């Protein structure tokens, strides 16, 4: 006979009710929100230029292009205009930053001693003058901005504005001025062999990383801390295209 007490608890209360599992969606939504918030913060903190690139206005009137993440516009890095007090005359109507001017005059004297006559074709150019050279010539030649930028920097993006860059020519072969044929002259051969002694380097060699046309006449001075600082981004980019061991 069954014990009466053993059946005092109704069947419905003997079985522990199943616990209802809460839906995972609220926690998942919160987790996703946190991840997105952290990701957005990381972009703003670590890569602010990504956001600025798309929010900032175009830098030059007349150009729809915006600078890339490294600051380049149509291949050219931005450069400040040299202060007038830092410029000295190196040839009639032509000025350079005083640091570059001293080195350039030594270079010209050394070339002359070797029987080579090198002449200065262009030196410091103001941003206003670069504006004319870029946009006026672009218009007269019916060029696109991309086409023009391969041979001339947009204003505010020219090495000449720093006072550290020069265009050089062979005085005995004026027909090669500002031409690829300058690379075939004795003046260019001498520069290739000796310019580094005076801290001048070729800015745009063949196949350069900035995708600017080869300019054998365009040389820049890197013999001072100020010059090195201004051209460091260009040097870093150029180094990316060199084989290991040559950097």
Q: Are 124 and 160 in contact (CB under 8 A)?
A: yes
Q: Give the chain's residues under pLDDT 70.
A: 1-66, 136-145, 148-151, 241-247
pLDDT of residue 34: 53
pLDDT of residue 16: 40
Distance CA 101, CA 113 (A): 18
C-alpha distances out from residue 183 to 115, 169, 178, 206, 218, Å: 18, 10, 10, 11, 11
- Burial (CB count <10 Å: 0-12, 13-18, 19+), residue 2: exposed
pLDDT of residue 132: 83
pLDDT of residue 241: 56
Architecture label for domain 84-240: 2-Layer Sandwich (3.30)
- Output the 3-class SS for 115-150: CCCEEEEECCCCHHHHHHHHHHHHHHCCCCHHHHHC
Distance CA 226, CA 96 (A): 14
SS3 158: coil
SS3 88: strand
**Sign of torsion, CA 26 31 34 40?**
negative
């Amino acid at each position: 006979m069954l014990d009466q007490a053993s059946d005092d608890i109704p069947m419905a209360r003997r079985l522990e009710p199943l616990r209802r599992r809460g839906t995972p969606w609220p926690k998942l939504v919160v987790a996703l929100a946190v991840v997105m918030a952290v990701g957005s913060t990381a972009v703003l903190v670590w890569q602010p230029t990504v956001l600025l690139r798309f929010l900032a206005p175009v830098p030059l009137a007349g150009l729809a292009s915006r600078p890339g993440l490294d600051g380049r516009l149509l291949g050219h890095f931005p450069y400040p205009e040299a202060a007038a007090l830092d410029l000295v005359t190196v040839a009639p109507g032509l000025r350079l930053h005083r640091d570059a001017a001293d080195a350039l005059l030594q270079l010209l004297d050394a070339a002359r001693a070797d029987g080579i006559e090198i002449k200065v074709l262009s030196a410091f150019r103001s941003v206003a003058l670069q504006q004319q050279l870029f946009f006026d010539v672009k218009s007269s030649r019916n060029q696109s901005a991309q086409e023009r930028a391969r041979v001339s920097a947009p204003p505010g993006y020219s090495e000449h504005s720093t006072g550290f860059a020069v265009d050089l020519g062979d005085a005995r072969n004026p027909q090669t001025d500002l031409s690829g044929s300058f690379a075939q002259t004795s003046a260019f051969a001498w520069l290739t062999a000796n310019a580094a002694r005076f801290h001048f380097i070729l800015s745009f060699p063949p196949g350069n990383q900035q995708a600017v046309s080869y300019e054998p006449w365009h040389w820049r001075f890197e013999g001072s801390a100020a010059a090195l600082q201004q051209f460091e981004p260009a040097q870093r980019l150029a180094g990316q295209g060199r084989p290991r061991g040559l950097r």
